[in-house]
Structure 1
Amino acid sequence: MSGDDVIEAVFEAVAAATPEIRESLVGRRRYEAGENPSGEQQLEADVYADQLFEERLLALDGVASYASEEREGIVRADGTSADADSTKGKTRAGSGGDGGDGDYHLALDPLDGSSNVKPNNVMGTIVGVYDEPLPAGGDALVAAGYVLYGPLTTMVTARDGRVTESVVHGGERHAATADLALPDDPTVYGFGGRVPDWTDEFAAYAREVERELKLRYGGAMIGDVSQVLTYGGIFAYPGLTTHPNGKLRLLFEGLPIAAIVETAGGASTDGERSLLERTPEELHERTPVFVGNREYVERAESALSE
């Protein structure tokens, strides 16, 4: 299969799994006994979604490995597993350094915002397609996408310099917006983290933004980013006094979302530089995340540097 065919097959497989993901939420709202590698309690729905995507995606020709926010290490297509440290410094995919027979490596957040299952609020799935062994950086991210489980199921993908929004019905994608772009006139913002834990610099920036934009924050990054892509504005989960590196994962959340927003004409930053310039040192490395219209992202960088 060509690279384009593999990427398309990945997005088709994710879309095909969406009816099962939605149906699986019924009866899987309880917490598991364990935690994920980030120290967060897992819902039964998290574990189910992770196992389903692992099975479906590793079965695709051209996919060499799978990693997710819900598991410690990496699973290869040949059924073996590895921790992230064992893949660092390997050659580019397809050159024998990945331990699998494919050229692409997938990093997923199977259920972003899964804490919203209990109150029946919005959540999603995030997909990053890399052409280097994980953990890989923004220069190795060749495609990204997310599914939003809202009143409708929608899927947004970024590849080949274009962002496409589709409605997913019966596991199939139906293109709704072929060349999605951020509006030039920003309208909304959503900021994560407890306000008492914000730094003074970010709190001052937030006070400026709240005088200009409307608050839209739902507790799932996917829902908040979708608001920004639809109406323009900014989403941020900053570094906090309690968590200086933020709480979002660079590989599973920051890089794919940055790629989508930047491809749609927006910008991203970790407070100092584009997220796509970053390469995680660890599989579950955290990062501050700011994405949205360039004006607001640049103003955030300026505010945080004061």
Structure 2
Amino acid sequence: MSEMSEMSEVITLHEHLRELDEELATLISRICELSILIRRELPHRLGKAGTVNISGEQQTKIDVWANDVFIDGLLSTGLIHQLASEESEDIVEYEEGTGAFNITLDPLDGSSNIESNNLFGVICGIYDASTPLPARGRKLKAALTILYGPLTTMMYTAKRGVHEFVKGRKHNLEDVYYLVNEHLQIPSPGKVYGVPSNREMWLPEFRHFIALLEREHYGLRYGGSFIGDTNQVLHKGGFFAYPAYLDRPHGKLRLQFECNPMSLIVEEAGGKSSVGMGSVLDVEPTSLHQRVPLYIGNVELIDQMETLFAKCRDARLYY
């Protein structure tokens, strides 16, 4: 399928999910249904909630509401044994011994962008119920993202490639997701890179690596939402990082809720993930809200970066 193009054959998400087992297909469909409900409600729930989440971040009204919608909507399917949300301190268990899946959820990644009408979305990881949370990313059964932008798009992988869908198409139902890119692959060579600010706190070898990208004329694309910035890399090729800092050696992003699901999608699309030395997906979790440095992008770029980092005597900082 050509990317975001008119197709002679229109395939819905429901039709595409027939390739999966019925329970997994039902769960993915339910997540997408809830995402449409949340999109509709966005204009009516603007503003700060006056609360902070477990990570100490200010919550918006839509953060709190979306978290409740996802928890209630997913638990009601009877398919969930354990559910962990970035917005909640503890794991929610439906009933002991029931439900086929454990799920990790970032209900609204980049929600601080809502006020300025910029990109944000949903990140979700799905494990078999036999894999208790927190878990290594390598044990993921599936992962998906939903990006709220000029278009609402959804990507999922069930470890058989990455497939992208758009909500609504000309002459079709608005609230149905339609396939626009089957077996998405990260373009190579890459064109863009995304990194946060505070360069004075970057480790020297990371500063050197970014200088190499800039000399090779990679274009800076950084919008402040992990899902949006990674979407740039998935479609244009390149590199994204939320790195280790001198004063924050474990970075900012959460392993369970952000790094693992997105790293699976990137690797299934032909890219590579890293914590500086080794794949994000191989990190053994130590806590539910654990943070790790994250570097993702084209394989050759991550390999180049890891070679540079390996020369550092302080390599322990990357774990």
Q: Equivalent residues in 2 for 1:1-306 (5 A)?
A: 4-78=21-95, 99-131=96-128, 132-169=131-168, 170-212=174-216, 213-306=218-311
Report the Cα offset of residue 191 of structure 1. 0.9
Moved more, 191-200 or 216-225: 191-200
Q: Secondary structure at the match of 1:161?
A: coil
Q: 1:236 to 1:177 in 2, by over 3 A?
A: same
Encode CA deviations 1:106-130: one digit per residue, 9 max, x unaligned. 1010000011011110101000001
Q: 1:165·1:178 contact (CA, 8 Å) conserved in 2?
A: yes
**Which moves more between the two structures, 155-164 or 29-38?**
29-38
**Structure number having the greater strand percentage:** 1
**Structure 1 residues 22-65: Cα deviation after superposition (integer angstroms, max 9, x where no partner):** 23222433222221111111111111111111111112233212
Q: Is the CA contact 1:155–1:165 (under 8 Å) kept in the aligned structure 2?
A: yes
- Quick one: distance in 2 between partners of 1:29 and 1:100? 38
Give 2:14's aligned residue: none
Q: CA separation in 1, counterparts of 2:107 and 2:247?
A: 26
CA distance in 2, matches of 1:161, 1:192: 32
* CA RMSD of superposed structures (Å): 1.5
SS in 2 for 1:180: coil
Quick one: distance in 2 between partners of 1:195 and 1:4? Answer: 46
**For residue 91 of structure 1, what is the aligned residue in structure 2?**
none
2:27 touches 2:79 (CA, 8 Å); kept in 1?
no
Secondary structure of residue in 1 paired with 2:115: coil
C-alpha change, 1:268 and 1:118, in structure 2 (3 Å) is same
Residue 86 of structure 1 corresponds to: none
- In the alignment, which residue of structure 1 is the partner of 2:3? none
Letter in 1 for 2:133: L
Contact residue 193 and residue 220 of structure 2 kept, 8 A:
yes
Amino acid of the structure 2 residue aligned with 1:4: D
Q: Is the 8 A contact 2:263 2:281 kept in 1?
A: yes
Q: String of CA shifts for 1:209-257, please: whole Å, max 9, x gaps.
A: 1222111110001111111110111111101112110000000011101
Question: Which stretches of structure 1, 4 residues or longer, exceed 3 Å deviation after superposition?
Answer: none
Given that 1:50 and 1:70 are in contact with CA atoms closer than 8 Å, whether structure 2 keeps it comes out as: yes
Secondary structure of 2:118's counterpart equals coil
The more displaced of 23-32 and 137-146 is 23-32
Shift of 1:150: 0.5
TM-score by length of 1: 0.89
- Distance in 2 (CA, whole Å) between partners of 1:197 and 1:172 is 45
Gaps of 5+ in 2: 1-18, 169-173, 312-319
Equivalent position amino acid for 2:244 in 1 = G
Distance in 1 (CA, whole Å) between partners of 2:196 and 2:182 is: 30
TM-score, normalised to structure 2's length? 0.86
Residues 191 and 237, structure 1, Cα contact 8 Å, conserved in 2: yes
Q: Secondary structure at the match of 1:189?
A: strand
Distance 1:260 1:222, change over 3 A: same
Structure 1 gap ranges (5+): 79-98
Q: What is the CA–CA distance in structure 2 between the aligned matches of 1:32 and 1:23, rounded to whole Å?
A: 19
The share of aligned pairs that are identical, in percent, is 41
Q: Distance in 1 between matches of 2:134 and 2:183?
A: 29
Going from structure 1 to structure 2, the CA distance change for 1:7 and 1:20 (only over 3 Å counts) comes to same
Check whether the contact 2:157–2:268 (CA below 8 A) recurs between aligned residues: yes
C-alpha distance in 2 between matches for 1:188 and 1:197: 22
Q: Distance in 2 between matches of 1:125 and 1:46?
A: 11
- Tell me the CA shift for residue 193 of structure 1: 4.4
CA deviation after TM superposition for structure 1 residue 192, in Å: 2.3
